[in-house]
Structure 1
């Protein structure tokens, strides 16, 4: 029996979604690339750039926020904020499906799933726009104020950008609980636009039920086992056909 081509796999995914009782999407930076937001680990991604003093993992760390708030702020503003970005077909199609029967669990901090109208979203790593606050007094700020200045001049406090989980910090327990529930409830899990190398996010699949079907949509092969329906294609192309 010959191996299915990508078009046949997309048709299979379409059927799986139609027949599923509960679909959980696990998404990463690749989902937002068509909206003009760079990813992290691809050839031209954020983590491959060499223009900064420290490696990106340190630039996005709690330690850097506290010790070098000016450097942290510059990096985040230059590389992380894309307030004018609009959801693409992947976001809108996922919103449509998950609003009917499922959940989106995302690593992304850009809020584009919510902007697309998705009602059941677990922002595993938080986001850059909610609860921007002064670490000294707790006062909240709009992201536009944060982009201009990281200092709260009333008490000389450092302003923290949103609920985003930084390197060196733990994941919000509620996010872990909600993500695990989404995995356990699913009879279909679709992984889209992620290298699946960041833990604990990548470890969520350990909560998958044995009979739950797993699909991976990614430009690069993720080297998952043969039971996974692997669609090696641009996610935009795939979701346009669903």
Structure 2
């Protein structure tokens, strides 16, 4: 039995699955990742600073010009998002995603924790009003009150809300199968969520490069869309 077939059997057999997803889940939708040779950070000095609370506060136009590069409004869910959403018809499914593109929600997944937020959720820092992302891409000043607009994403130097952490932990705790997909799984605190899985839960990782996880798991080293395309619903 190939490792892909073994992974497919685990997914079919599981009753409660939690997917922990990263940038590799969205690259088939033509959304670039961050750190690859063709990623968003390629050729940019101090990209983490450009996505930091310090940059937002002290050099807001530099932050704004960079964050606009992360928007890909024409992107659509791919087979990975679609299969995860379809699995909800027969199983208890949760998604905890590092991605800020909202594609899991767009695909129809109901139980989604956007761990790092959502680019398309924009609000005014002065009055708190929600504003359309379309307006934000035109100007980062709120027309109603003159306040600064920003996307509701977690920037470097910002903390996570207790509600987000609690819901993500709950999603991991309830699963009998954890599927890590499209992520190197090296960024904390996201990679620390695995600590909360049930002792009897199985862990499956699907990624183009092998992961180093300090506990038993099944590694499927391939593009995530290759495995998900083979899932029968």
TM-score, scaled to structure 1:
0.90
2:149 to 159, 163, 181: 159
Do residues 230 (structure 1) and 219 (structure 2) align?
yes
Gaps of 5+ in 2: none
2:32 to 21, 34, 38: 38
Q: Which residue of 2 aligns with 1:199?
A: 188
What's the CA shift for 1:188?
A: 0.3
Q: Which residue of 1 aligns with 2:130?
A: 140
What's the CA shift for 1:42?
A: 1.9
Query: C-alpha offsets along residues 100-139 of structure 1, whole Å, 9 cap, x if unaligned?
Result: 3210110111010011111111111110112x12211223
Do residues 102 (structure 1) and 96 (structure 2) align?
no
Once residues 166 and 179 of structure 1 are traced to their aligned partners in structure 2, the CA distance between those partners, rounded to angstroms, is 18
1:175 to 157, 161, 164: 164
Q: Which sits farther off after the overlay, 224-233 or 190-199?
A: 224-233
Once residues 93 and 127 of structure 1 are traced to their aligned partners in structure 2, the CA distance between those partners, rounded to angstroms, is 21
Q: Which residue of 2 aligns with 1:89?
A: 79
Once residues 206 and 108 of structure 2 are traced to their aligned partners in structure 1, the CA distance between those partners, rounded to angstroms, is 22
1:214/1:153 CA distance change after superposition, 3 Å: same
Do residues 114 (structure 1) and 108 (structure 2) align?
no
Gaps of 5+ in 1: none
1:21 to 15, 18, 21: 15
What's the CA shift for 1:234?
A: 0.8
Task: Flag as ranges the 4+ runs of structure 1 deviating above 6 A.
Answer: none
Q: CA RMSD in A?
A: 1.5
Q: In structure 1, the residue corresponding to 2:203 is in which secondary structure?
A: strand
Once residues 42 and 200 of structure 2 are traced to their aligned partners in structure 1, the CA distance between those partners, rounded to angstroms, is 38
Q: Which residue of 2 aligns with 1:125?
A: 116
What's the CA shift for 1:174?
A: 1.2
Is contact 2:205–2:219 with CA below 8 Å preserved after alignment?
yes
Question: How many correspondences in the alignment?
Answer: 230
What's the CA shift for 1:224?
A: 2.8
